[in-house]
Amino acid sequence: MLSINELRASIEGKEILKGINLEVKPGEVHAIMGPNGSGKSTLASVLAGREEYEVTGGSVSFNGQDLLELAAEERAAEGVFLAFQYPVEIPGVTTINFLKTAVNEIRKYKGEDPLDAAQFLKMVREKAKLVRMNDSLLKRALNEGFSGGEKKRNEIFQMAVLEPKLSILDETDSGLDIDALRIVAEGVNSLRSPERASIVVTHYQRLLDYIVPDYVHVLYQGRIVKSGTKELAMELEVKGYDWIKEEVEALG
Partner 1 sequence: MSTETIDLKTKLVADFYAKEAVINGEATSDFHQKKRAAISTFEELGFPSRKDEEWKYSSVKDLVSASYKFNEPGALSAEDVASLNIPDQNANILYFVNGRYHPEMSQLISSSDKIVISSLQEAYQKDPAMVNKYFGAVDSSGDAFTALNTAFAADGVFIHVPANQVVEHPVILRFISDARQENVGSQPRNIVAVGQNAQVKFAEAFRTIGEQRSFTNVVTEIHMDQDSHVEYYKVQNESNQAYHVGSTEVFMLDKSHFYAATVTLNGEFVRNNLSIRINGEHCEAHMYGLYFPDGTQHVDNHTVADHMKPNSESNELYKGILRDKSKGVFNGKIFVRPDAQKTNAFQSCKNIVLSNEATMNTKPQLEIWADDVKCTHGTTTGQIDEEALFYMRSRGISRPEAMSLLMYAFCADVVSQIKIDSIREYLEGVIAEKLTNN
Identity (one letter) of the amino acid at 239?
K
Report CA-CA distances (Å) from 66 to 49, 74, 246: 12, 12, 36
The Cα 177–Cα 77 span in angstroms is 32
Q: How many helices (H) and strands (E) does the chain have?
A: 10, 12
Spatial distance between the Cα atoms of 68 and 90, rounded to a whole number of angstroms: 27
- Residue 91 or 252: the one with the smaller Cβ distance to partner 1 is 91
**Residue 181 interacts with partner 1 (CB under 8 A): yes or no:** no
CA neighbours within 13 Å on the CB side: how many for 163?
Answer: 10
Give the Cα separation of 158 and 4 in Å (integer): 25
- Which of 4, 46, 82, 138 binds partner 1 (CB under 8 A)? It is 82
Contact positions with partner 1 (CB under 8 A) in 186-245: none
State which of residues 23, 54, 72, 139 lies at the interface with partner 1 (CB under 8 A): 72
CA 228/CA 213 separation, integer angstroms? 10
**87 lies in the site for partner 1, by CB under 8 A:** yes
Q: Among 71, 126, 193, 240, which residue interacts with partner 1 (rule: CB under 8 A)? A: 71
User: Which x/- pattern over 92-121 shows residues binding partner 1 (rule: CB under 8 A)?
Assistant: xx----xx-xxx-xx--x------------
Cross-strand bridge partners of residue 220? 223
Region near partner 1 per CB under 8 A, out of 4-12, 32-40, 87-95, 226-234:
87-95
Residue 91 CB, nearest approach to partner 1 (Å):
7
Where would I find the H helices in 49-116? 72-78, 95-109
Closest separation between CB of residue 252 and partner 1, Å?
38
Q: Applying CB under 8 A, does 48 fall inside the site for partner 1?
A: yes
Does the protein bind partner 1 through residue 154 (CB under 8 A)? no
Closest distance to partner 1 from the beta carbon of 125 (Å): 19
- Would strands 2-11 and 141-142 be described as parallel, antiparallel, or unpaired? unpaired
- The partner residues of 10 in beta bridges, in order of sequence, read 15, 54
Q: Provide the minimum distance between the beta carbon of 48 and partner 1 in the complex, in angstroms, as a whole number.
A: 5
**Interface residues with partner 1 (CB under 8 A)?**
48-51, 71-73, 75-77, 81-82, 84, 87-88, 90-93, 98-99, 101-103, 105-106, 109, 141, 158, 162
